[in-house]
Amino acid sequence: MRWAATHPDWLLGFEDEVWWSRLAAPALHAWADTGHPLRLVEQTVAHDDPDRKALACYGLLLPETKEVWLRFLDGRPVSAVTTVFLRWCCQEVAARGKTALLLVWDNASWHVSREVHTWIRAHNRQVKAANEGSA
């Protein structure tokens, strides 16, 4: 964090996400009236149901600017959805005149996946090549 603070053209952020599912069974305690059996209802969705099955919310806390960027995306937080969020963040960072986004995040499987690491490397190569071409 101190290193990032020495570079005014960098932006440091803390990223995390949460998701909700219409179908996933929540971890709840259950009870029933005495003498009545506990009733469980299995949730199902029709094959042609157009509504979302899950919704992910990605968030990026930026202490320097006192901002929180939120994006809601269809589905669970998986690698493909994570790269969409990262692409959007990079566009926003560039629009603010910053040259780097330093992320602090956990080791969620979609953060450390091959797909996300490949996207990050490709993005960094593309930005570097574009900057060398404009110099």
pLDDT digits (tens, 9 = 90+) for 36-48: 887 776 667 777 8
Interval 65-96: pLDDT, tens: 999 999 998 888 999 999 999 999 999 999 99
Domains in the chain: boundaries: 8-22+51-134
Alpha-carbon distance of 104 to 31, in angstroms, equals 41
Q: Among 57, 47, 61, 50, which Cα is nearest to 20's?
A: 57
In 9-127, the DSSP E strands lie at 10-21, 54-62, 67-74, 100-104
The CATH code that applies to domain 8-22+51-134 is 3.30.420.10
